[in-house]
Amino acid sequence: SVWPVMDLVSAAVPIGLFFGRIANFINAEIVGSPTQMPWGMIFPGWGSEPRHPAMLYEAALEGLALFLVLRVFTHSLQSLKSPGLTTGIFLVGYSIARIFCEIFKIVDYRLIVDGWPFTKGMVYSVPMLLIGIWFIMRARSARDREEQAA
Protein backbone atom coordinates (compact mmCIF):
# COMPACT_ATOMS: atom_id res chain seq x y z
CA SER A 1 0.00 0.00 0.00
CA VAL A 2 1.21 3.50 -0.81
CA TRP A 3 -0.45 5.08 2.26
CA PRO A 4 2.34 4.38 4.79
CA VAL A 5 4.95 5.84 2.43
CA MET A 6 2.83 8.94 1.85
CA ASP A 7 2.40 9.34 5.60
CA LEU A 8 6.14 9.13 6.29
CA VAL A 9 6.96 11.58 3.50
CA SER A 10 4.21 13.97 4.64
CA ALA A 11 5.63 14.00 8.17
CA ALA A 12 9.03 15.12 6.81
CA VAL A 13 7.96 17.59 4.09
CA PRO A 14 7.57 20.59 6.46
CA ILE A 15 11.33 20.49 7.12
CA GLY A 16 11.95 21.01 3.40
CA LEU A 17 9.29 23.72 3.25
CA PHE A 18 10.97 25.51 6.16
CA PHE A 19 14.39 25.57 4.50
CA GLY A 20 12.86 26.47 1.13
CA ARG A 21 11.16 29.53 2.63
CA ILE A 22 14.37 30.54 4.40
CA ALA A 23 16.08 30.38 0.99
CA ASN A 24 13.27 32.57 -0.38
CA PHE A 25 14.06 35.06 2.41
CA ILE A 26 17.80 35.04 1.66
CA ASN A 27 17.07 35.62 -2.04
CA ALA A 28 14.38 38.26 -1.30
CA GLU A 29 11.73 36.21 -3.12
CA ILE A 30 8.02 36.05 -2.26
CA VAL A 31 8.10 39.42 -0.54
CA GLY A 32 5.00 40.64 1.18
CA SER A 33 2.79 43.63 0.69
CA PRO A 34 3.79 47.02 2.12
CA THR A 35 3.32 47.40 5.86
CA GLN A 36 3.87 49.90 8.64
CA MET A 37 4.21 47.16 11.25
CA PRO A 38 7.44 47.31 13.27
CA TRP A 39 8.65 43.99 11.83
CA GLY A 40 8.31 45.22 8.25
CA MET A 41 11.50 44.75 6.25
CA ILE A 42 13.08 46.55 3.33
CA PHE A 43 14.05 44.06 0.63
CA PRO A 44 16.66 44.76 -2.05
CA GLY A 45 15.09 45.44 -5.41
CA TRP A 46 11.67 46.21 -3.90
CA GLY A 47 12.07 49.91 -3.12
CA SER A 48 12.43 51.59 0.26
CA GLU A 49 9.00 50.73 1.63
CA PRO A 50 8.92 48.17 4.48
CA ARG A 51 7.13 44.96 3.54
CA HIS A 52 5.76 41.92 5.31
CA PRO A 53 8.39 39.15 5.45
CA ALA A 54 5.79 36.74 4.03
CA MET A 55 8.35 34.01 3.43
CA LEU A 56 9.21 34.01 7.15
CA TYR A 57 5.53 33.69 8.01
CA GLU A 58 5.41 30.70 5.67
CA ALA A 59 8.59 29.21 7.15
CA ALA A 60 7.06 29.51 10.62
CA LEU A 61 3.61 28.13 9.73
CA GLU A 62 4.13 25.74 6.80
CA GLY A 63 7.48 24.59 8.12
CA LEU A 64 8.01 24.80 11.84
CA ALA A 65 4.43 24.82 13.19
CA LEU A 66 3.22 22.14 10.78
CA PHE A 67 6.24 19.95 11.57
CA LEU A 68 5.49 20.23 15.30
CA VAL A 69 1.79 19.44 14.78
CA LEU A 70 2.67 16.39 12.70
CA ARG A 71 5.27 15.35 15.27
CA VAL A 72 2.60 15.32 17.98
CA PHE A 73 0.22 13.36 15.75
CA THR A 74 2.82 10.80 14.66
CA HIS A 75 4.55 10.27 18.00
CA SER A 76 2.01 11.02 20.73
CA LEU A 77 -1.27 10.25 18.97
CA GLN A 78 0.05 7.39 16.80
CA SER A 79 -1.42 8.74 13.55
CA LEU A 80 0.88 6.47 11.52
CA LYS A 81 -1.25 3.53 12.62
CA SER A 82 -4.13 4.95 10.54
CA PRO A 83 -2.89 4.95 6.92
CA GLY A 84 -3.57 8.27 5.21
CA LEU A 85 -4.26 10.22 8.41
CA THR A 86 -0.86 11.90 8.60
CA THR A 87 -1.01 12.82 4.91
CA GLY A 88 -4.49 14.28 5.41
CA ILE A 89 -3.34 16.31 8.41
CA PHE A 90 -0.39 17.61 6.39
CA LEU A 91 -2.59 18.64 3.45
CA VAL A 92 -5.13 20.38 5.69
CA GLY A 93 -2.44 22.13 7.75
CA TYR A 94 -0.45 23.22 4.71
CA SER A 95 -3.56 24.51 2.95
CA ILE A 96 -4.70 26.54 5.94
CA ALA A 97 -1.22 27.98 6.49
CA ARG A 98 -0.89 28.88 2.82
CA ILE A 99 -4.31 30.51 2.63
CA PHE A 100 -3.45 32.59 5.71
CA CYS A 101 -0.01 33.63 4.43
CA GLU A 102 -1.43 34.67 1.05
CA ILE A 103 -3.08 37.60 2.84
CA PHE A 104 0.36 39.18 3.32
CA LYS A 105 1.85 38.58 -0.14
CA ILE A 106 2.04 40.75 -3.21
CA VAL A 107 -0.45 39.22 -5.59
CA ASP A 108 -0.55 39.27 -9.34
CA TYR A 109 -4.11 38.01 -9.57
CA ARG A 110 -7.24 38.27 -7.47
CA LEU A 111 -10.47 36.44 -8.05
CA ILE A 112 -13.42 38.31 -6.58
CA VAL A 113 -16.26 36.08 -5.37
CA ASP A 114 -19.20 37.87 -3.76
CA GLY A 115 -16.92 40.77 -2.89
CA TRP A 116 -14.23 38.57 -1.29
CA PRO A 117 -10.77 38.69 -2.92
CA PHE A 118 -8.97 35.38 -3.44
CA THR A 119 -5.42 34.94 -4.73
CA LYS A 120 -4.28 32.13 -7.01
CA GLY A 121 -2.51 30.56 -4.03
CA MET A 122 -5.77 30.53 -2.07
CA VAL A 123 -7.70 29.02 -4.96
CA TYR A 124 -5.03 26.34 -5.50
CA SER A 125 -5.11 25.48 -1.79
CA VAL A 126 -8.83 24.70 -1.69
CA PRO A 127 -8.60 21.36 -3.59
CA MET A 128 -5.65 20.38 -1.39
CA LEU A 129 -7.72 21.21 1.70
CA LEU A 130 -10.66 19.13 0.46
CA ILE A 131 -8.43 16.18 -0.44
CA GLY A 132 -6.82 16.39 3.00
CA ILE A 133 -10.23 16.32 4.69
CA TRP A 134 -11.17 13.31 2.56
CA PHE A 135 -7.93 11.51 3.56
CA ILE A 136 -8.67 12.15 7.25
CA MET A 137 -12.26 10.95 6.94
CA ARG A 138 -11.14 7.86 5.01
CA ALA A 139 -8.47 7.00 7.60
CA ARG A 140 -10.88 7.44 10.50
CA SER A 141 -13.56 5.39 8.75
CA ALA A 142 -11.09 2.55 8.14
CA ARG A 143 -9.96 2.68 11.77
CA ASP A 144 -13.60 2.58 12.98
CA ARG A 145 -14.27 -0.47 10.78
CA GLU A 146 -11.21 -2.23 12.21
CA GLU A 147 -12.31 -1.48 15.77
CA GLN A 148 -15.81 -2.82 15.09
CA ALA A 149 -14.40 -6.00 13.56
CA ALA A 150 -12.19 -6.63 16.60
Q: Render pLDDT for 10-62 as a digit per residue (tens, 0 to 9).
A: 999 999 999 999 999 999 998 999 999 999 999 999 999 999 999 999 999 99
Task: Please state the domain extents for the chain.
Answer: 3-145
- Residue pLDDT, tens place only, 74-132: 999 999 999 999 999 999 999 999 999 999 998 766 777 777 778 888 989 999 999 99
Q: What angle do CA 42, 45, 47 make, to 5 degrees?
A: 55
DSSP string, the chain: --HHHHHHHHHHHHHHHHHHHHHHHHTT-S-B-B--STT-B--TTS-SS-B--HHHHHIIIIIIIHHHHHHIIIIIS-GGGSTTHHHHHHHHHHHHHHHHHHTTB--S-EEEETTEEEEHHHHHHHHHHHHHHHHHHHHHHHHHHHHHH-
pTM summary value: 0.90
